[in-house]
């Protein structure tokens, strides 16, 4: 038996932040944002809500889609870089929210690559035959670390969550292969400076806006295209398939130009690339999960289809996987 996704769900908040809204906040324009990023709007988590609230809804929807009871979940992995708090883990909060007790729960910090990292961990544990159903959640409130005075970053980020139930599936189906990578030497290119043990929160760190994301965009662009392209090529080569065998390519929704560059390098036609970046922007770990759910629910994925997902994020981290879809939707 293999291990694969038997249930998928997602959730984005109702509040929409449009490019027109951002024009009133910083020196930017709809044309500038769309031309450079492909983003037209993004979703924002309501005040008083957190990543766990978004993740809880996505988790419930994934369990329902899997056709199992929440009590049949054996473990929860939550991929997030915007946890509710430093501790306890957001996974533990989601566990309580959905009414499960006495199962292992932990958070995973791999930034935008977190959902694929989480799926691979779940797959490995399922294949040990010690776990039956593992819930992988990616929940992000990127608006909480967005500096809305910085025109270069505030246009990019949005909030959302996705979840998948990973279980045993028919042999030769499910998650066929995964490639994971990281390069800590580039950690200074995308980070939040303060709030951890190195630079604890203080009046000074707040005044200097050190609790918001900082990014070296031009350098990241080049590394992202190269790392994601290389990851997809490795997946294709290792599994002895051609780019044409991939029915749907689901890349991290960070920047339309990055997506186009990766697709071109990997020889994947844009008509087989799933895009929802214009609606949501970059939701970090939740991006590929939300895209996968929307693709499945819209009928773009059918049983036997080969799907390739790829992500790139802070760390720097990157990840790609190959899935033979096993669900009959």
Give pLDDT tens digits for 280-307: 999 999 999 999 999 999 999 999 999 9
Average confidence score pLDDT of the chain: 97
How much is the CA Rg of the chain, to the nearest whole Å?
19
Alpha-carbon distance 96 to 3, whole Å? 26
3-state helix, strand, coil in the chain (%, to 5): 40, 25, 35
Kindly report the number of other CB atoms within 10 A of residue 102's CB atom. Answer: 5
Q: In the CATH scheme, what is the code of domain 176-324?
A: 3.40.47.10
Looking at domain 2-171, its CATH superfamily turns out to be: Thiolase/Chalcone synthase (3.40.47.10)
> What residue segments make up the domains of the chain, in order of their start?
2-171, 176-324
Instruction: Give pLDDT, residue 145.
Output: 98
Here the tokens at position 170 are 């028919």
pLDDT in tens, 34-56: 999 999 999 999 999 999 999 99
Alpha-carbon distance 227 to 313, whole Å? 10
Kindly state the average pLDDT of the residues 185-211.
98
From 157, 69, 170, 148, select the one nearest 112 (Cα to Cα).
157
**Options 19, 255, 282, 321, the catalytic residue:** 282
The CA-atom distances, in angstroms, between 116 and each of 120, 274, 314, 329 are: 6, 16, 14, 22
pLDDT > 70: percent of the chain: 100
Alpha-carbon distance 123 to 39, whole Å? 33
Instruction: Give pLDDT, residue 37.
Output: 97
Kindly state the average pLDDT of the residues 84-113.
98
CB within 8 A of 311, min separation 6: which ones?
A: 112, 113, 114, 115, 116, 228, 251, 252, 285, 287, 288, 317, 318, 319, 320
**Options 78, 252, 255, 308, the catalytic residue:** 252
From 55, 88, 95, select the one nearest 73 (Cα to Cα).
95
Helix (H, G, I), strand (E, B) or coil at 165: strand
The verdict on pTM exceeding 0.95 is yes
From 177, 128, 146, select the one nearest 43 (Cα to Cα).
146
pLDDT band at residue 59 using 50, 70 and 90 as cut-offs? very high
Kindly report the number of other CB atoms within 10 A of residue 8's CB atom. Answer: 26
Q: Examine domains 2-171 and 176-324 and report if their fold is the same.
A: yes
Alpha-carbon distance 109 to 96, whole Å? 21
**Options 112, 141, 154, 308, the catalytic residue:** 112
Based on the residue annotation, tell me whether 282 is a catalytic residue of this protein.
yes
pLDDT > 90: percent of the chain: 98
Beta strands 105-108 and 133-141, pairing class = unpaired
Alpha-carbon distance 17 to 54, whole Å? 17
pLDDT in tens, 239-284: 999 999 999 999 999 999 999 999 999 999 999 999 999 999 999 9
pLDDT at 224 over 80: yes
Cα of 180 vs its chain's centroid, Å:
14
Kindly state the average pLDDT of the residues 190-203.
98
Q: Which residues of 33-57 are buried (b: 16+ CB within 10 A; e: fewer)?
A: beebbbbbbbbbbeeeebbbbbbbb
The CA-atom distances, in angstroms, between 129 and each of 109, 119, 173 are: 25, 16, 17
Based on the residue annotation, tell me whether 252 is a catalytic residue of this protein.
yes
Instruction: Give pLDDT, residue 329.
Output: 64
Helix (H, G, I), strand (E, B) or coil at 230: helix
Number of residues written out for the chain: 329
Kindly state the average pLDDT of the residues 51-77.
98
CA max distance for the chain: 56
């Amino acid at each position: 038996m293999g291990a694969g996704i038997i249930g998928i769900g997602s959730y984005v908040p109702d509040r929409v932040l449009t490019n027109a809204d951002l024009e009133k906040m910083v020196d930017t324009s709809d044309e500038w944002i769309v031309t450079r990023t492909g983003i037209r709007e993004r979703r924002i988590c309501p005040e008083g809500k957190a990543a766990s609230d978004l993740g809880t809804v996505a988790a419930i929807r994934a369990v329902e889609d899997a056709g199992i009871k929440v009590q049949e979940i054996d473990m929860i992995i939550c991929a997030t870089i915007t946890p509710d708090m430093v501790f306890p883990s957001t996974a533990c909060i989601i566990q309580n929210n959905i009414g499960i007790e006495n199962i292992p729960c932990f958070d995973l910090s791999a930034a935008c690559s977190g959902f694929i990292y989480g799926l691979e961990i779940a797959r490995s544990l399922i294949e040990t035959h010690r776990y039956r159903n593992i819930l992988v959640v990616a929940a992000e409130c990127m608006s909480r670390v967005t500096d809305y005075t910085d025109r270069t970053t505030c246009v990019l980020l949005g909030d959302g969550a996705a979840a998948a139930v990973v279980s045993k599936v028919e042999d030769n189906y499910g998650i066929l292969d995964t490639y994971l990578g990281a390069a800590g030497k580039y950690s200074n290119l995308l980070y939040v400076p303060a709030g951890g043990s190195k630079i604890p929160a203080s009046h000074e760190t707040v005044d200097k806006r050190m609790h918001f994301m900082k990014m070296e965009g031009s350098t990241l662009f080049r590394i992202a295209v190269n790392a994601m392209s290389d990851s997809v090529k490795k997946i294709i080569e290792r599994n002895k398939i051609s780019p044409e065998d991939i029915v749907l390519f689901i890349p991290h929704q960070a920047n339309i130009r990055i997506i186009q560059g990766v697709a071109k390098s990997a020889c994947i036609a844009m008509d087989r690339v799933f895009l929802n970046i214009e609606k949501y922007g970059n939701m970090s770990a939740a991006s590929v999960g939300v895209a996968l759910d929307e693709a499945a629910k819209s009928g773009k994925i059918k049983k036997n289809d080969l799907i390739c997902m790829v992500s790139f994020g802070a760390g720097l981290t990157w990840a790609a996987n190959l899935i033979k879809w096993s669900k009959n939707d």
